[in-house]
A and B are shown apart, each in its own frame.
Chain A
Amino acid sequence: MGVSIEIDNVTKAYQNNIVIEGLSATINPGEFFTLLGPSGCGKTTLLRMIIGFNSIEAGEIRVDGKRVNDIPTNKRNMGMVFQNYAVFPHMNVRDNVSYGLKNRHMGKNERNQKADEMLRLVKIDQYANRMPAQLSGGQQQRVALARAIVIEPDVLLMDEPLSNLDAKLRVEMRNVIKRIQREIGITTVYVTHDQEEALAISDRIAVMYNGVIQQIGTPKYIYQRPANEFVSGFIGLSNFIDASYKDGVIDFGSFYREPLKLSEEAGSEVRVAIRPEEFVIHKNGEPGIPATIISSVFLGMTLHYFASLDNGQEVEIVVPSDLSDILPDGQRISLGVVPEKINVFDRKTKNTLIPKGA
């Protein structure tokens, strides 16, 4: 079930402006694959190369092993869901969904039957005869989704399909998308700039920056073992603290040291990335990085502290809330870290120094 997509060394230029150069990635059959990155990094461009709305200046894209560069879009059998839904406003919901089937010369009865089946799958069968203007944004997005998958495409492409919805609907729709993708097992390439959405929905994520893929991996791996400082900062929140490294020990200064085995090439100048939940707060002068509490925010499940280190740098700390008192602003603390969770990067190359498999 599903087909693979191999993106092999592709390059895209608009006029003379090279946006993507020599990019490669392999998407496995039936996989939910997400392109994640800040706005303008080339996600849409890459997606449109896959479906054929953009030309490919160099390299090739293979679907199921076959080169598709020169196949026109309408012959590629790929479904696409657009950011602005792109539902045909002059056709009712059923006609929207059966439009692609009509292009495949399917008879009217069969067409409508398949369309209705699909509308049931996305749970808007009661609106089959409505015009799009009478639907909410979320419902329109369901129409767009049904319309894209009813043609049984080899590949489903989605470009920020949820960004026009409000926060609650976004969560609801991403579950719908994930459920349906699982049910039909279609290879899916999904574009978003929202890291939380990417973590929630994907089998694997490719983090992009400046037209270059920074890291490909499962949501869990990317979050826990970011390949470089960019990924570490873009996915979730990281506090970056400079430290030095020697012989399997990281020295934070102020007599605070943690043993940690880094890869061979590690020099002495390192930068440690610590997620807010990877700090441990000590109140009684245990070894740690000295800091002062600036403010705190109680969010029910968790408690957030903002603290400043002695060099003036601000850090964020998250602890599970418990019955003990909230530390007052101005309180002196020392911050320990959980050594097996933190990440360490080379200060020059900005790449990770955590050995593979750690």
Chain B
Amino acid sequence: MQDKKHSPVWTFMALAILALFIIFVVYPLALILYKSVIDPKSGALTFENFIRFFTRKYYTNTLLNSFKVTTVVTLICAFLGLVMAYIIKQYNIKGSSALNIAIVLSYLSPPFIGAYSWIQLLGRKGLFTKAINSAFHTQFEGIYGFWGIVLVFSLQSFPLVYMYVSGALENLDNSLNEAAESLGANNFQRVSGIILPLVLPTVLASSLLVFMRVFSDFGTPMLIGEGYRTYPVVLYNQFMGEVTNDSNFAAALCVIIMLITLIFFFLQRWIAARHSYSMTALKPMQPRKLRTLPNILCHLFVYLVVLLAMLPQLTVIVTSFLKESTPGIFTNEFSLVNYRTIFSKNPRVIPNTYIFGLCAIFLVIFFGVLIAYLAIRRKSFITETVDTLTMLPYIIPGSVLGICFLYAFAKAPLVLTGTAAIIIIALTVRRMPYTIRSSTAIISQISPSIEEAAISLGSGEVKAFWDVTLPMMMPGVISGAIMSWVTVISELSSSIMLYRASTQTLTVSVYTEVIRDCYGNAAAYSTVLTVTSVLSMLLFFKLTGKRSMSV
């Protein structure tokens, strides 16, 4: 690979990045690992914490609960995502681009907002609950626990499968359909024998992503789970000291969940690498016409699912303009009081969100592009190590990363607790893997000889990168950055661990307001968040001219 001595600048940069990752990823993780197996009093090696976890029903049950609920959610998401993608890509569905945006949008909003909106609708005092009870004279208590969690996560996470499968379907060449038909396959045989097997690896791989995501999310089960305790909820409570303040046990809980996500990460990679067909369609499949009845049914199904997925967002927006009589009970009176409250209460929340987001995006782009470039064009042991290290945060649940940071940066020499920096770094580290992957893809498309041309014309290596490769990467990087921006401003799980009043962001505010039963304020906060996301996405579509996106 290395057939030439390159400028030492690259090695220097790679070393600097390596140092940063050792400080901000390796060290916090190593510390958690260390804490989990060390007796705080004697300092001796002990597996006490792990033994305690696995011998108490209270804890093992939560793990079981998490697996149960996540498995059910994953199956539903795989089904919904596949069916939705198939119908929207293969048939003429009216308004499919709007549907597409709505689906992506419902994915980008933080899951716990879905949880609290569904509580408004189907909770104990929910709108639908009341309607149902008065119509059927029942005593329906609202949707909490297992099915509440399943409902919220399924509607929020199926878009991930949907996006991946849509992409795979777009890459199927129409000649496959034609070949199948010419060989005498009927519609059912064509779909089950040709199309399904070709997209199945994608369904599987994206379902595992759903699994990892749902397994480690704590906001939703926290709000709607009530008695149904899942693992991340226990982890959060353990850490926040509501049960006992045993930080070594909390560390062990972190290690256990990291091992679980690690296994699923490798499973996902293995499937994606082994079973993906590389295809590019010369002539993509054309949407087909349906007979009247199936056509109506398909439209009904698709619109119903999208409506349900969007319902939390819509609820939030509507209730943000309503006045609360008592906490949680909205009147029908239009008012801006919620917005007035949130702007006067903690005026830093909105600026914080935007500033932290922008800083994180800047850092993510700067390092992401550089790391991708080094890993591809300046391959060496150092750059490959950096590349591997940057993948770590991908498999660490956000709340665990938050906890790691809290432990690692509470004492000298590096005290960051309570600062904006610690939140920005956490956001940066969490988003980095995505940006590196997309930048890697972009760089691989650029021929190395373009940079060599610049060098032969008298540019140094760094100048050639700056003059040629970087500008060529920019369009792709910018559109990736918009997606990063949307995900970064809706991040909750690490920020919730790291925030102080002075560093509170929108998502954290929504969460804390919900916990305090101030639903009006929560709705106003999340409306601001939703509007920002929608505008960013419109900008994305305008800039890229694309009609779909990958997260």
Contact = CB atoms under 8 A, between A and B. Distances in A.
Interface stretch (B121-129, B212-220, B247-255, B448-456): B448-456
B452 A80 contact: yes
Contacts of A147: 453, 457
Interface in A335-358: none
B197 interface: no
A295 interface: no
A88 B450 contact: yes
A90 interface: yes
Nearest to A70: B5
Given A55-B3, A90-B471, A82 B458 contact: no
Contact of B457 (A52, A72, A89, A103): A103
B4 interface: yes
Contact count band on B: 20 to 34
A86 B4 contact: no
B453 A86 contact: yes
Contacts of B4: 52-55
Nearest to B464: A74
A139 B471 CA distance: 23
A104 interface: yes
A72 B455 CA distance: 9
A290 interface: no
The binding surface of chain B is classed by DSSP as: helix
A73 B459 CA distance: 9
A86 B450 contact: yes
B457 A100 contact: yes
A89 B455 CA distance: 16
Contacts of A55: 3-5
B449 A84 contact: yes
A74 B460 contact: yes
A262 interface: no
Given A53-B4, A55-B5, A88-B450, A80 B458 contact: no
Contacts of A86: 447, 449-450, 452-453
Interface string B1-23: 00111000000000000000000
A90 B3 CA distance: 28
Contacts of A78: 456
Contacts of B472: 88-90
B288 to A, nearest CB: 34
Interface in A31-85: 51-55, 72-75, 77-80, 82-84
| Interface-central residue, B453, B457, B458, by most chain A CB under 10 Å | B457
A151 interface: yes
A126 B457 CA distance: 23
| Interface-central residue, A53, A55, A77, A79, by most chain B CB under 10 Å | A53
A88 B453 contact: yes
Nearest to A100: B457
A17 to B, nearest CB: 11
Contact of B456 (A80, A89, A104): A80
Contacts of A54: 3-4
A222 interface: no
A144 to B, nearest CB: 8
B453 A104 contact: no
A74 B458 contact: yes
Interface in B66-106: none
B279 interface: no
Nearest to A147: B457
Please give me the 7 A-B residue pairs with the lowest Cβ-Cβ distance, nearest first.
A100-B457, A103-B458, A86-B453, A86-B449, A80-B456, A82-B449, A86-B450
Given A82-B453, A86-B452, 16 more contacts: A53-B452, A55-B4, A55-B5, A73-B452, A84-B447, A84-B449, A86-B450, A87-B453, A88-B454, A88-B472, A99-B457, A103-B459, A147-B453, A148-B456, A151-B457, A151-B458
7 contacts: A73-B452, A74-B457, A77-B458, A80-B456, A82-B453, A87-B453, A88-B450
Interface of A: 14, 51-55, 72-75, 77-80, 82-84, 86-90, 99-100, 103-104, 144, 147-148, 151
